[in-house]
Structures are given as C-alpha cells and as structure tokens.
Amino acid sequence: MTKMAAWMAVLAALLSPVRMCRGQGSTPAASPPHRLIFHPPVASDGALGERVGGGARGAGGTDASLVAIVPDQVALTTQEQPSLFWFQSRQARAQLELTLIEPGKPQPLLALGSQSTKPGIHRIRLSNHGVKLTPNVAYKWTVSLVPNPASRSLDVVATGMVKRIEPTKELTQELAGATAAERPAIYAQAGIWYDALEAISDEIDKHPDDSSLRKERADLLKQVGLPPMDKQ
C-alpha cells in the first residue's frame, strides 16, 4: 500500500501542471501589456489642446465625420516636418481643406484644398509642402469638409495642435540604438505623440498585411480617448 501511495503521489504531481495549463481550477495568466504605452507629457504652461471632432451640420451638410488624431492637449513632435493625421468616416461630396496656423500670423502657414478623400485614416507630410515648424511654438491645424463653399456653416471641422520640441539626450541615445519596429514604443513612452503615431503608421505602410501593427495603433488611439478607426 505504501508503494501504491507513492505512485499515486507521483501521478498527481505529473497531472497537476496539465490541469493548470488548461485553466481548470487555476487563475488565468494576465494578458501582456500593450507594446505602445503613451505617457502624456506634463505641459509646463498647463496648455490644453483643441481636439474637436466634426459631424454633420444641418440640412445640406454631409453625413461624414472627421477626427483629428491627436490627444486632447498640445501634442508634441521632435520633427521639423512631422506628419498630421486625421480620420474620415465615409466618402463625402465635399471639398477637403487643411490649414496650419502659426499663432500671431494673419495668413496660414499652409492651406491646401482637394477633393474629399475616401474613408479611413489619412496623413499629410509637411515635408511634401516645404513647411517647417519652429521649436516651442504651438501651431493649430484644421481639416474641414466643405459641402457648399457659399455656406460655410455647413462645414465639418476637426482641429488639433502640434508643438515641436528638442529631443532629450536620453531619447536621442535610445533612438540611436533602436530598430524601426522599436521606435513607436520609445516615442510613446516619451510622450511624443506625433512621432509615435508616424512611426507605427510607417510600419503599417511597410507591412500592410500585419494585423498586429494595426492593433497596436488602435490601442494607442484608445489610450487618449479616440474612437476606433482601423479594421483589425
């Protein structure tokens, strides 16, 4: 009986890990954290941004909506010529206008017009238009759908803010040894919104069939209260 009891104890020990791996009578392991974790910077001047999402505006307007893909604060970049991102919910029979305004200047730094784009996430690269941002200036940018130029009250408007800062020595050193795939998380950890979003979007452009990259971007947007914009 003693030998039998010993064999039973060994058998129980062997079966126990299998039972736990199947989740029977055990607590499931915690899910791994998101790779992109955004840490909002603490603004020294306490400035908030102007993230304003547009919607349909009355009779004759469009039923499309726009969202500036920014946190509700003055979001940062270390780039002289960053990309600006927005989301359009559906195709619209309207003109698309984008402006970039420097405070204290009567004329926009950039003013573009085109036909309305297809639904989804869109970007404009300031490098394509020769626009350079001055450090420590909070710029306002606006993207609008204009269904009727003679009645601008029908416009659908979304607005964001962008401010260029100089990267810290620590950030520069960390980026110097990082791969392209590691850069989005580094920028997000440092609170550099535009660079994090651009870096993960560049990875999506390079690997369009990798759904995990779109999931990472969707998680990043969710962290700052933005609605779902990507198909997973």
DSSP string, 140-152: EEEEEEES-TT-G
- Mode of pairing for the β-strands spanning 156-164 and 75-77: parallel
Question: DSSP 3-state assignment of 161?
Answer: strand
Using CA atoms, how far apart are residues 70 and 49, in angstroms rounded to an integer? 9
Q: Kindly state the DSSP code that residue 52 receives in the 8-state scheme.
A: B
Percent of the chain surpassing pLDDT 70? 75
Burial of 182 (0-12, 13-18, 19+ CB in 10 A): middle
Using CA atoms, how far apart are residues 35 and 141, in angstroms rounded to an integer? 29
- CATH assignment, 66-223: 2.60.40.10
Which amino acid belongs to residue 189?
A: Q
Q: Model confidence at 92, in pLDDT bands (50, 70, 90)? A: confident
Using CA atoms, how far apart are residues 160 and 217, in angstroms rounded to an integer? 18
Residue 81 has pLDDT above 70, yes or no: yes
How large is the C-alpha radius of gyration of the chain?
Answer: 24
Using CA atoms, how far apart are residues 155 and 123, in angstroms rounded to an integer? 20
Percent of the chain surpassing pLDDT 90? 63
What pLDDT is recorded for position 18?
34
Question: 25 in the Ramachandran plot: left (φ > 0), alpha (ψ -120 to 50) or beta?
Answer: left
Residue 5 has pLDDT above 90, yes or no: no
Q: Write down the pTM of the prediction.
A: 0.80
Residue 138 neighbours by CB distance under 10 Å = 18
Q: Model confidence at 73, in pLDDT bands (50, 70, 90)? A: confident
Q: Kindly state the DSSP code that residue 29 receives in the 8-state scheme.
A: P
Q: Let me know: does 101 contact 141? Beta carbons within 8 Å.
A: yes
What pLDDT is recorded for position 47?
54
Q: Let me know: does 186 contact 203? Beta carbons within 8 Å.
A: no
Q: Let me know: does 147 contact 59? Beta carbons within 8 Å.
A: no
What pLDDT is recorded for position 176?
95
Q: How far is residue 178 from each of residues 132, 184, 185, 187, measured CA to CA in Å?
A: 25, 10, 10, 11
